[in-house]
Amino acid sequence: MICVILGRGRHSALLEEWEQAAQAGAELVELRIDCLRKAPDLERILAKRHTPVVFTVRKGADGGLYRGDEDARLSMIRKAIVAGVDYVDLEMDTAQAIKRPKFAKTKRIVSYHNFQKMPEDLEYLAEKMRALDPDIVKIATVAHSVKEASRLLEFVREANKVCPTIGIAMGDLGSFTRILGTKYGAPYTYAGFNPERMFAPGLLLYQQLKREFFHDQIDHKTELYGVIGDPIGHSLSPIIHNTAFRHEGLNKVLVPFRIPADRLEESLNSLRWLGLKGISVTIPHKETVIPMLKTVDHTVETVKACNTMVHEHEGWVGHNTDITAAMECLEAVLKKVTPEVENPLMDKQVLILGAGGVARAIAAGLMQRGAGVALTARKDEKATKLAEELNCRSVPWTGRASTIIDILINCTPVGMHPEVDDSPVPVAAFRPGLIVFDTIYRPENTLFIKQALDRECMAITGVHMFVRQAALQYQYYTGHQAPEQLMYETVKRKLSAAQD
């Protein structure tokens, strides 16, 4: 279950948002009474209860907005209990001051908040909280590493054997604890409702938990997968995989983990207890993860980069679906023109813009298929160095528009935010019939793609490549054919919603 946090400055706005949350499907809301700018009118607030409610008046010391008299705050909570609210949130000192009245139906959430550091002894803290007559224990504490967040979630698994316990590692390093707590017995998790009002670092939105993680379907049997990177909040891997998993009736969920570059091994080791079945790997870990793999396939050996990990036989096996996806996208376009040709990339002349990891992978794949590859980059020396490593040729950046080619591929970040009004080549580079491929997928229709289409080129967007590589990952994760059209439609909707 998801508890939606609501807090507004005016009574009317709070009540309106409560009704909206109920209409959106919320089963439980937390009313943050401390956000009200005027003295709370409990009779008005509780007159029409759209959902069960957690009543909270959070003090400033615990991350709230209440700055009034403490006796008045305690009196307000007691009145809410008399009014029969479903839950009250009581900080540890508040729980000592407010005892459970006889015959009271209101359940007690005894809570602890720490925005500075993770407590060393979580079990000792929980024992102190369990002595305060809770129905639910809630620990929300900042996490300065994935290791700390993982320790809190593992604690939740054990604590729920004793008493219903919610453990939240605040911050984006611990966002996975908000998704997975219920798998390990937590009675519910917390989510925001309005993106303009977020009440804690790392808080996810209600609709995100519902639509991207299918949170209400996660249970103790759910198999876990992950996507690792830094940054990771922009990743479309969770929504594309989770939509496919649930559409196919598979009890699996893929969760994002923000892992800083210098914490890869420590973080993955700390997550081992989760039993992750597979991991999608993105920047900056595609190369550095390789030493941690038990075996790799030929694609990883070729490009020295891994974007897919599958746990088999007590070890990780590495794959690279980027290279296969890129080749299949190009071959699909070429076969529309020459369907009779078995290897349509053979002898095609290709210019790749960029000299990073994606450029390396695509160049290696093209060369394996007999294409002639040239590299160019804004720093000529980088293109020259990579070309020497791959045994292909390089072209000066100033010559990128005059090189005679069949295929032009952008592997630079030009066209992404904040360079959305830029293209890596002048318009003169495009000629009718040229195949143009942009590996950027946010936005899908970059200026590079728009100019190519205006000049009657055949275009492949980064969305096509992203969906295809995800479909290949899905096959590794499940052993089933991926619902590729559904995955494509899911990504398109997500990108369209983000633009709106």
SS3 content of the chain, % helix, strand, coil (to 5): 40, 20, 40
Residue 76 C-beta-side C-alpha neighbours within 13 Å: 23
In 3-state terms, what secondary structure has residue 447?
helix
- Whether the Cβ atoms of residue 236 and residue 479 lie closer than 8 Å to each other: no
Residues annotated as part of the active site: 286
- What token pair was written down for 230? 């830094």
Tell me whether residue 124 is exposed, middle or buried, using C-beta atoms within 10 angstroms of its C-beta: 0 to 12, 13 to 18, 19 or more: exposed
Distance CA 109, CA 163 (A): 11
List own/partner pairs for 377-386 with CB under 8 A and 24 or more apart.
377/353, 377/412, 378/412, 379/355, 382/355, 383/355, 385/355, 386/355, 386/359, 386/360
Report pLDDT digits (tens) over 384-412: 999 999 999 999 999 999 999 999 999 99
Return the domain boundaries, the chain: 2-220, 246-319+466-499, 324-460
User: Which CATH code is given to the segment(s) 2-220?
Assistant: 3.20.20.70
Q: If one looks up domain 246-319+466-499 in CATH, what number appears? A: 3.40.50.10860
Q: What are the tens digits of pLDDT across the range 435-483?
A: 999 999 888 899 999 999 999 999 999 999 999 999 999 999 999 999 9
pTM of the model: 0.91
- What is the full DSSP assignment across 219-273? -TT-EEEEEEESS-TT--HHHHHHHHHHHTT--EEEEEEE--GGGHHHHHHHTGG
Domain 324-460, CATH class in plain words: alpha beta
Q: What three-state secondary structure class fits 426?
A: coil
Angle subtended by helix axes 321-337 and 462-478, to nearest 10: 120
Residues 6+ apart with CB under 8 A from 23: none
Instruction: Give CA–CA dist 225/241, Å, rounded.
Output: 9
The tens-digit pLDDT sequence of the chain (500 residues) is 999 999 999 999 999 999 999 999 999 999 999 999 998 999 999 999 999 999 999 988 888 898 889 999 999 999 999 999 999 999 999 999 999 988 889 999 999 999 999 999 999 999 999 999 999 999 999 999 999 999 999 999 999 999 999 999 999 999 999 999 999 999 999 999 988 888 888 899 999 999 999 999 999 999 999 999 998 988 899 999 999 999 999 999 999 999 999 999 999 999 999 999 999 999 899 999 999 999 999 989 988 889 999 999 889 999 999 999 999 999 999 998 888 888 999 999 999 999 988 899 899 999 999 999 999 999 999 999 999 999 999 999 999 999 999 999 999 989 887 878 899 999 999 999 999 999 998 888 999 999 999 999 999 999 999 999 999 999 999 999 999 999 999 999 998 877 65
Question: In DSSP terms, which residues pair with 278 in a beta bridge?
Answer: 225, 310
* Domain 2-220 identical in fold to domain 246-319+466-499: no
